[in-house]
Structure 1
Amino acid sequence: MTCRNCHTDFNGNYCNNCGQSAKTKRFSFKYFVRESFASSLDIENGFFLSFKLLLLNPGKSIKAYIQGSRVSLYPPAKFLILSGAIATFLAIRYRFYSDSYIAGLSELSDMDPKGFLNFAEEYATLINALTIPIFAFFSYLFFKSKGYNYTENLVLNMYITVMQMMGLLFFVPFLEFFPDFKGPILIIYTLGTLLYNVWAYLDFFDARNSKGVLTIALILIASYLTQYLVNNLIFLLITQASWL
């Protein structure tokens, strides 16, 4: 058979050139779950190579992975677990949300936002993980004509979320040396994650035209509004259950 990663002809269960499994299939939810958790949580050389590829060329790298080049990127679920742990640590360590916003929000209304923002720091990984199926749903819905199923959109948005969380690493030196500028730093980080999302979608869906840009804008608006509602619902459920 021909390897779907390096296109080498081979016999057996694994490619003798790149090591990819001969059983590589198109993503379905069942196949995705099995492949994501079949191996142990090791930090392999592929972790750092994946970070580089997703940083420099996210759309094309994710597309190649989904289309069969499975040894090119670190498995998305494992990548999410590692980046989620890092993001949660950094959010709590630098009080990335609460110190930046509590005073400003308190001036705008009588509400006390401290509880929700502390919740956002403590449950940063959960919040980011819950955004993935939301964004996957809308990218699947709006770009259904591209032929990617929901699970493939889930993989796409999982990698995007991973890199958005890992983006916090770039701001650690600024947070260390300029702690009084957390607000502006957070704004820059937020804009950076938004632009990264747009860039990845443009390349992945080959949407470099006015219609594609408009479609991506609709996806982001719908996704962020839904995410906002879901986050607040979870916060209310957790706070209501805290007294039990």
Structure 2
Amino acid sequence: MHCKNCGTKVDGKFCSNCGQKTNVGPINLAYVVDEINNSFFQLDRGFFFTIKRLSINPGDSIRDFIQGKRKNYFKPLTFVLILSTVYALLSTLLNEQTVLGDLLSGWKSYKDGSTLDANATVLHQWFVKNYAYSILLLLPVFSLASYLSFRKYEYNYLEHIVLNSFITGQQAIIYTFFAVLKSFTGENAVTETLYMVFVLGYVFWVYIQFFKNYKRLKIIFLTILTYILYILFVSIFTGIISSIVIKIM
């Protein structure tokens, strides 16, 4: 048996070279449950290593993690929760709306004030006030969209959650940088354009690297399809919850 992290030949429960467990399995439900039970709020040395790798070589790094090289990386769900919380807190201190707040403000501007919209507004306010938890709730929705878009490829749904967790966590760093920048420069076309280029460009960059064995143009198309499906699923998701709220009230 060889260690999936460093490739050293091992005979036992742990690699003598890097220390990773030898029984590293696939990304499945058992892995996700184990991460939730054991990893939340446990900050270790892998946190900054993960940020570095996701800044330099994100797609390859995430693929390595999924394939078993996990010793030096921070757990993905904890990663996104911590960075989303930092971004939300900093946005509050700077009196800046989060990206989710901006999106929901735009959504509200197109509504007509019906009973359904009033209840939906309450729901959306909860999403804005609880940004980090909202991101965790929306992450499986986006991952469903990416899984369906890339369903002919080798990765399962839970592996897409891992992929998008790392992306979302790293995006929170981009959000944080631009929140600070906006507090100094204010809203302007240049800042907003750069903001969108970095946020969306990062996703395309990661997906192109992650699926590098396939045609780049097709990966770009499927990434666009992922966003289209995501918008559709979120609309359905919020509509169902709003309808439930109406019945309860």
Q: Same fold (TM over 0.5)?
A: yes
1:7 maps to: 7
The one-letter amino acid of 2:68's match is G
Question: In structure 2, what is the equivalent of residue 202 of structure 1?
Answer: 208
Shift of 1:144: 2.2
1:39 shift after superposition: 4.3
Kindly state the Cα deviation for residue 187 of structure 1 after the two structures are TM-superposed: 5.5
For 1:213, give the aligned amino acid: I
Q: 2:101 aligned with 1:95, yes or no?
A: no
Taking the aligned partners of 1:230 and 1:104, their CA distance within structure 2 comes to: 15
* Partner SS, residue 148 of structure 2: helix
Note the 1:1-244 alignment, pairs <5 A.
1-39=1-39, 41-93=41-93, 94-97=95-98, 118-178=125-185, 180-181=186-187, 185=191, 188-206=194-212, 207-231=214-238, 234=241
d(CA) in 1 for partners of 2:52 and 2:35? 22
> What's the CA shift string for 1:123-176, capped at 9, x where partnerless?
212322222111221222222222111111111111111111222221243133
Letter in structure 2 aligned against 1:224: I
Aligned length: 240
The separation in 1 between residues aligned to 2:191 and 2:6, in whole angstroms, is: 41
Counterpart residue type for residue 63 of structure 1: R
Give the C-alpha shift of residue 58 in structure 1.
1.3
Q: Is contact 2:39-2:75 (8 Å) kept?
A: no
Q: Following the alignment from structure 2 to structure 1, what is the Cα–Cα distance between the partners of residues 183 and 36? A: 35
The CA distance in 2 between the partners of 1:146 and 1:39, in whole Å, is 29
The alpha-carbon deviation at position 33 of structure 1 amounts to: 1.6
| C-alpha distance 73-208 of structure 1, shift in aligned 2 (>3 A) | farther
Name the aligned partner's letter for residue 95 of structure 1.
Answer: E
Shift of 1:235: 6.4
Question: Within 2, Cα distance between the matches of 1:224 and 1:202?
Answer: 21
Q: Could you tell me how far apart the structure 1 residues matched to 2:170 and 2:38 are? A: 23
Identity between Structure 1 and Structure 2 (%): 28
Q: Indicate how the Cα distance of structure 1 residues 100 and 10 shifts in structure 2: closer, same or farther if over 3 A, else same.
A: closer
Instruction: State the alpha-carbon separation in 2 of the partners of residues 137 and 234 from structure 1.
Output: 18
Counterpart amino acid of residue 222 in structure 2: T
- How far apart are the structure 2 equivalents of 1:191 and 1:54? 17
Aligned residue for 1:61, secondary structure, equals helix
Whole-Å Cα distance in 1 between the matches of residues 35 and 65 of structure 2?
Answer: 13
Stretch deviating more after TM superposition (119-128 or 186-195):
186-195
Report the aligned-residue RMSD: 3.2
Contact 1:96 1:182 in 2 (8 A): no
In structure 2, what is the Cα distance between the partners aligned to 1:103 and 1:231? 15
Q: Partners in 2 of 1:148 and 1:21 — Cα distance?
A: 22
